[in-house]
């Protein structure tokens, strides 16, 4: 197997889109989003002969707690690879990531793969990260029968689509009632015709939401870049929920490779009793069906059985729409120099403070 830096966006996304899991965070466009906020992407492709065996997009993160390479939901390896070739592909990628990270003066590499958590899924010569990088418990709503991640891609094309009534009946009763109540209250959901302009409305609401809940947000520049670059490809929708002519909730959805992801959400406290966010999600789900998507990805939820977790509040909201949970392997670190020890200590304190 040979490893090289990728230079062809089309073949990169074509490979990603045909895999069982194809997180948009590994898409070529997402790398350009990070480039626009001065975090350069590193894109590696592994070839086995003339065929792509795997890809890995990493981001150079100049964090104060430690400069590092971050791999968001990667690497992605071909579903056709035999287990021995899969190991060889990973070894090749890790060697090249180490080399590049060293040249970039990184203290460590952090990977959060989109790999199902299974027995004996530990990766040699790595450490479990003190903090998660991305959601590791993901709530998926299938928009095709049978569940698309359990069948071959070719079968998916003929899978049946559940009706809106079926989806509503599979929801928690409370969720279904809140959707209908928002409709009776006169909430209007609009898919923005001018995402680059309306993302400013989202940003204002998101800042209000951040202050209310006290979480660490993405930067405004990140939101603007993500909307601008994905919307230019027809792969982003900014939703606005209006009540009495005022926007009281908003969200950013990314739709790539037949999957819609609910990536960012925000709401106003002024009309907290109006269930606008429920109707907004329902509109996004029905839009995904009409687009022909096969998965609606609600993103992260809290793990089962915990009594203290930052995702507990949104877990009840997301799971009420029906679906299934996917557990991913925990984030892993590859230390490269002694500075990593300081980073690890800082993050262990942050983990305790954030309730993880």
pLDDT of residue 145: 64
Q: Is it the case that residue 158 has pLDDT exceeding 60?
A: no
Confidence band, pLDDT 50/70/90 cuts, at residue 263: very high
Nearest partner of 288 among 138, 148, 169, judged by Cα = 148
Count CA within 13 A, CB hemisphere, residue 337: 12
Map tokens 């939820």 to a residue.
301
**What is the mean predicted confidence (pLDDT) over 123-142?**
88
Q: Which of 196, 283, 202 is nearest to 231 (CA)?
A: 196
Beta-ladder partners of 266: 250
pLDDT in tens, 49-62: 999 999 999 999 99
For the record, the structure tokens of 241 come out as 């929920």
Bigger pLDDT: 335 vs 162: 335
**What residue ranges of the chain are covered by domains with CATH 3.40.630.30?**
2-134+329-354, 139-327
Q: Tell me the per-residue pLDDT of 278-299, one tens digit each, with 9 for 90 and over.
A: 999 999 999 999 999 999 999 9
Q: What is the pLDDT of residue 282?
A: 98
Q: Cβ distance 218 to 266 under 8 Å? A: no
CA separation for the pair 37, 281 (Å, rounded): 29
pTM: 0.91
CB atoms within 10 A of CB 45: 21
Pairing of strands 127-128, 76-77: unpaired
Place of tokens 């990766």: 123
Q: In angstroms, how far apart are the furthest CA atoms of the chain? A: 61
Is residue 313 within 8 Å of residue 265, measured between CB atoms?
no
| pLDDT at 14 (0 to 100) | 97
Band (pLDDT 50/70/90 cuts) for residue 121 is low
The reply to whether CATH 3.30.70.360 applies to domain 2-134+329-354 is no
Average pLDDT over residues 9-19: 96
257: left (phi over 0), alpha (psi -120 to 50) or beta: left
Overall average pLDDT of the 305-320 stretch: 86
Q: What does R_g of the chain's alpha carbons equal in angstroms?
A: 20
Q: How far apart are CA 229 and CA 24, in angstroms?
A: 13
End-to-end, the C-alpha distance of the chain in Å comes to 39
Query: Lowest mean pLDDT: which of 142-156, 233-247, 251-265?
Result: 142-156
Binning pLDDT at 50, 70 and 90, where does residue 152 land?
Answer: very low
Q: Is the pLDDT of residue 150 over 60?
A: no
So what CATH class is 139-327?
alpha beta
Encode pLDDT of 77-87 as tens digits: 998 888 878 88
The sign of the torsion formed by the CA atoms of 5, 10, 11, 12 equals positive
Per-residue confidence (pLDDT) for residue 154, from 0 to 100: 39
| Contact between 248 and 204 (Cβ < 8 Å) | no
Q: What is the pLDDT of residues 168-189, one digit of tens each?
A: 999 999 999 999 999 999 999 9
301: Cβ contacts below 8 Å, ≥ 6 apart: 135, 137, 138, 139, 311, 314, 315, 318, 319, 325
Centroid of chain to Cα 137: 11
**pLDDT at site 156:** 46
Q: How far apart are CA 202 and CA 264, in angstroms?
A: 9
pLDDT of the residue at 153: 42
> Which residues are 262's β-sheet partners?
253
Nearest to 114 by CA among 55, 155, 63: 55
DSSP label of 233: T
């Amino acid at each position: 197997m040979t490893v090289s830096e990728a230079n062809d966006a089309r073949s990169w996304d074509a490979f990603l889109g045909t895999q069982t899991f194809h997180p948009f965070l590994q898409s070529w466009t997402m790398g350009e989003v990070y480039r626009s906020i001065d975090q350069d992407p590193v894109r590696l492709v592994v070839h086995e002969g003339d065929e792509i065996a795997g890809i890995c997009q990493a981001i150079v993160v100049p964090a104060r707690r430690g400069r590092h390479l971050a791999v968001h939901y990667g690497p992605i390896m071909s579903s056709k690879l035999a287990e021995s070739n899969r190991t060889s592909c990973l070894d090749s990628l890790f060697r090249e990531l180490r080399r590049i990270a060293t040249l970039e003066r990184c203290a460590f590499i952090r990977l959060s793969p989109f790999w199902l958590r299974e027995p004996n899924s530990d990766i040699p010569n790595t450490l479990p990260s003190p903090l998660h990088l991305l959601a590791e418990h993901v709530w998926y709503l299938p928009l095709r029968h049978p569940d698309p991640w359990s069948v071959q891609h070719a079968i998916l094309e003929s899978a049946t689509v559940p009706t809106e009534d079926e989806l509503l009946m599979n929801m928690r009763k409370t969720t279904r009632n809140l959707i209908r109540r928002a409709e009776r209250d006169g909430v209007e959901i609009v898919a923005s015709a001018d995402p680059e302009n309306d993302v400013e409305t989202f940003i204002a609401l998101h800042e209000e939401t951040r202050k209310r809940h006290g979480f660490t947000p993405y930067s405004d520049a990140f939101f603007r870049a993500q909307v601008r670059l994905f919307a230019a490809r027809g792969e982003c929708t900014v939703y606005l929920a209006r009540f009495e002519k005022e926007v009281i909730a908003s969200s950013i959805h990314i739709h790539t490779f037949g999957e819609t992801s609910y990536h960012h959400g925000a709401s106003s406290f002024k009309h907290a009793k109006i269930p606008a966010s429920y109707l907004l999600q329902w509109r996004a789900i029905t839009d995904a069906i009409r687009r022909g998507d096969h998965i609606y990805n609600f993103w992260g939820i809290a793990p089962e059985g915990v009594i203290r977790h930052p995702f507990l509040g949104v877990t009840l909201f997301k799971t009420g729409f029906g679906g299934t949970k996917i557990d991913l392997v925990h984030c892993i670190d590859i230390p490269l120099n002694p500075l990593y020890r300081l980073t690890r200590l800082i993050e262990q304190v942050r983990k305790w403070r954030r309730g993880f």
